[in-house]
Homo-oligomer: A and B are copies of this chain.
Amino acid sequence: MSTAGTHHETEIIVDPEVPLVRIVREFDAPPEKVFRAHTDPELVVQWLGPRSLEMRVEHYECRTGGSYRYVHSRDGEEYGFHGSFHEVRPNELIVQTFTFEGDPDGVALEKLRLEDLGGGRTRLTATSLVDSFADRDAFVAGGMETGIQEGYQRLDELLARSTESDSPAQGEGGPQEPTM
């Protein structure tokens, strides 16, 4: 089974009316798998963020009323992120808050929706809302695009590994990391 698959574009859309960014991306996996890749911290660390950063999860209770904190690091520099999970509806919706600790007074309200496209495909729509256009535009200008696109390519790879391990024609040798 090939891991190459279709190349998917990540659309990053700046809303003209409200200080919100909308990200739309399709995946060659059913909503259940895309959801698990967002909720299980052992899977999240394998794809969230650009390849050049190491990710360490401090806690990650992805359930309604839970919270999280993780740290991205590169060359001894650490970048912390934390927030709360306002609502988690299996295979459908995650509503959470998000703060980058380098800007401790900043906070975004994020919604992730998964839509079943049939045929083992999913459309993900993620929105991030802040309370000023200046903050929203600084976030977009700050190179978030690269991190998001590279993260979703890594997620494609994780989902493809999982599709392989579902297959009865599984090859030699187990995976080195937890898989789906």
Contact = CB atoms under 8 A, between A and B. Distances in A.
A35 interface: no
A17 B133 contact: yes
Given A85-B84, A86-B83, A18 B131 contact: yes
A65 B95 CA distance: 14
B95 A86 contact: no
Interface of A: 17-20, 64-65, 67, 82-87, 95, 97, 99, 107, 109, 111, 127, 129, 131-133
Contact of A107 (B87, B131, B133): B87
Given A107-B95, A109-B107, A127-B131, A65 B86 contact: no
Contact of A131 (B67, B87, B129): B129
Contact of A84 (B17, B20, B86, B131): B86
Nearest to A86: B97
B84 A18 contact: no
Copies in the complex: 2
Name A's interface SS.
strand
B133 A18 contact: yes
12 contacts: A18-B18, A18-B131, A18-B132, A18-B133, A65-B67, A84-B85, A84-B86, A97-B97, A107-B111, A109-B131, A129-B129, A129-B131
Contacts of A19: 18
Contacts of A131: 18, 20, 109, 111, 127, 129
A131 B129 CA distance: 7
A98 B87 CA distance: 11
